[in-house]
Structure 1
Amino acid sequence: MTQHLLDSPSWEEPAWEDPEPGPRRWPWVLLAVLVVAGALYAGAAWWFGDRVPGGTTVAGVDVGGQSAPEARRTLAAVFEDGTGERLTLTSSVGTARLDPTKAGLSVDVPATVDGLVGFTLDPGSLWHHVAGGGEEPAVVTVEKAAFTRAVTAARKRLDAEPTEGSLSVAGGKVAYTEPVDGSTTDVDATRRAVQRWWPEQSTVEVVAQRIAPTTSAEELERVRDDFAKVAVSAPVRVKAHGTTFEIAPRTFAPAIVLEPADDGTLTPRAAEKRLRRVVHAAARRAGAEVRPKAAVVRFVDGDHTRPKVTPSVDGVRLEDDAIDSAVWQAISSQKRTAVVATRKDRPEFTTAVAKRTLPREKVSSFTTYYPAGQTRVHNIKRAAAVLDGTYIKPGEQFSMNGILGERTPEKGYIQAGVINNGRLTENYGGGISQVSTTIFNASFFAGVRLDAWQAHSFYISRYPEGREATISWPDLHNKWTNTLDGGILVNVTATDTSITVTYWGRKKYDVEATKSKRYDVIEPRTIVDDSPECLPQNPTPGFKVDIGRILRRGGKVVERQSFTTSYQPEDDVTCTAMAS
């Protein structure tokens, strides 16, 4: 084996004539190269450090290749004199132009240039110098208070409250308006956005917060699809009292309420009173509902001792609770038929009530007087004939204008004296204020509730002082309500010289009248009138007087009432045209 090694051809003797290997030099060469390169890099960094990279712009202003002083002068010429300053804020609502100076905005030119120059060994910066720069942001300073004031003033153009949507079935058709989000500007975030993008961008979108409507589009659309479209899809058929009738969507639509709750949820509901009115009206038209008829009381020859009662008749009425449930369910579903229960509908004034409340005694009576032969007497008698025999049920209201209506020649009235604006004149029905005054006094002493009356403008001596009532169509009324325990038969009789009103019923009160002395007296004026229409007047002072009514029952006072009557003076009028 040793021999094998000694015989191996791979073992050779070194040649004695080859030179001996020396020390290695390449590391030194590499180091030298690096030193030179570093020196060149540092030199380049130093050389470029005082210049803006070529091709660099600031807010569109070219400062590439300029030295720091040159760049500052270039930018100052644009920004420090304000020629390049403008700012428009935009939002989803609108736009607003701001004066940057008033908004506290300014470009810090020195800081901007400092950010573009200066010694640095950053390879990226050196690359910009070699390859060329680009658009660089300006350094912007903001005075917060001024900016806040400016943006706050502009918010009326940038902000908006949300617009609530709506859903309606008016007219039997679905109408939907989509809600719109509102917007409110975040002033601090907007300031930061402006500081970043202005003046490079003259238009900056504000940073805003979305304000959602109370009721979302999803909620409105859900109710539209699940309820509204179904509700007006077809008429509702109602079965009641053996009759079937239909109600069209346009008819019942006003009874559908689609109003969101405070939390934005929308639950359709019925306006119950309105829905009931709609269904009752439709039922009456179809004959499924019949109004009751009250008993009618008449008196033979106006004699309270000879009453004749026409019996009352029950009606048929749909049950309100059934309308609320069955009809609403039919409106709300594809099943369009509602079965509604009915009930007997009795009138308030039944036969039994009519008989139980018939008059049995004289309650009150009052008479006023007038000279015979006057034109007005014809009208007094005409009105008395119409009013005579009127029967006022318990709780019912008497209205003199309601019974007589407008006084016209066709109704048998003639022109006679009336008072108009404090002066005597003529009109159809003149004189029936005496009928009204007599009725008022009969009502006063009957103890009924006095609802509406008006004294004459000036005092007329034939009437009780302070206790009288004029009347005129259609505005001046004489109304009272029967608050006694029985019906009241009104008998009115007029002769050539007097009118008497008597109430027959069930006496409830003993009535005592009181009256104060006159006060606040005003003397009349003297007027000379040459117009052909003039009517002479005798002077009467104006005054005030307090009238009282004491109601007793079983000897005990149950109520005291009082009112004040004011009279204007009746002027002394002399008509010269008549005298000539």
Structure 2
Amino acid sequence: MVVKRKKLLVIGLPIVFLLLIITFLASQMSFAPRDKILPGVYMQNIELSGMDYNQAIASIGKLEQQFQKPIQVKYKDQAWVLPMSQVGLKINCKKEVQRALDFGRKGTLRQQFLERRQAFRGAYLKPDISLDKNLLEKLIVTDAAVIILPPRDAGLIIHADNRVEVSPGRSGRLVDIDHLESKIIEALLKGISSPIELKLIDVPPIRSTEQVKVMGVNTLLGMFSTKFDPNKVNRAYNVSVAAAALDGLTVSPQEVISFNEVVGPRSTEAGYKNAPIIVNNEMVDGLGGGVCQVSTTLYNAVLLANLEVVERTNHSLPIPYVPIGRDATVVFDSIDFKFKNNTNYWLYIQSYVKGGTLIIKIFGNSEYKKDVVIRSWVEETYDPKTLVEDDYGIPLGDRVVRQRGAKGYMATGERIIMKDNIVIKVEKLPTSIYKARNQIISQGMAPIGTILKNPN
């Protein structure tokens, strides 16, 4: 009997001791319904104990507002107030509430135990804060402009006499936005109120002086201009929009340029307006009327710069602002004008409107400078037909010209390339076919007296 009692004591004491430990540990843990956050859980300094999802969302929203109070930044002896309400500061409230709800309930049993015990003593979670770097940078650039020196890219200066000069690049000094962002978040999470010291970094230009020099652009290779009526406001506007799209274009060696890709769709969103265009051998109003004058002017500048024409299509009718056979029509997603930089250096294009004149200049390397003459002429002429149509809407015997006829042509031309007044090459230009435009006459068929005249 004594032996049995000893055995029971040997077995029972550890169990009792274990139960005491479990009871003690349980007393050091937090408990709450699964839809409520455990007691003792905080987000920063906001207590979330016992809150449900919606209550916690509202509380963390207040924390986000707290973080939007202005803070100070400084550089040496200069200081600025940074309004945090203008830098896109955000806390992902839904994510943080879920994290608080999951605290002590996710992971291994050991992890849950440790987290619950931590909550019993006070678990202070740090929220994930995000800032909009673009807004932060704009704010700093405006407020701390006196300490900022933007980098300057090297470029080209084209003088009035077409001389080309390299504009040197320069390194800049900017605020390290990544560093500032991390310091702001650190200050908010740690409750630091002292000013944040700005860190400046040296930023090289995207294009250095040496890079621009290596491009080899040092002379005017070719230019061409065409006239238009500035009083035709919509058409003049369209010409200006398309010309601006080409202005400043740089073309690498052997690169093929598509006019349609550079200029883009002729749409109202792109700023184009209705003006006359050629459709089915007739002039009608259409979106982007006038853009073909820009492609035609570019085509002639390309010819005079002795560059390679890859793709070109003539209009269906001769156009008045260039000699016959020297036009280039374009229709977005259908008909394109393309040329190739067949030199070993870069090209630079200037394209602008001055008064009623469109001017396009192509600059490149003097090694490829040639004297170029363009000639074009009519090879064949096509007479229009006269079509007579019966019209019961006009009196018998009357005749009305509905469409005036126009001759058609087959035109061709050549590019003569010279160096030191010696012809070194003659190239045949693409043949251009312009269709004849038939004359259409309406012949009256209505008996006299059967057409009611307008009493007014």
Q: Which category of TM-score, normalised to the shorter sequence, fits these structures?
A: 0.3 to 0.5
TM-score normalized by the length of structure 2: 0.47
Q: Which structure has the larger Rg?
A: 1
The alignment's TM-score, normalised by the length of structure 1, stands at 0.37
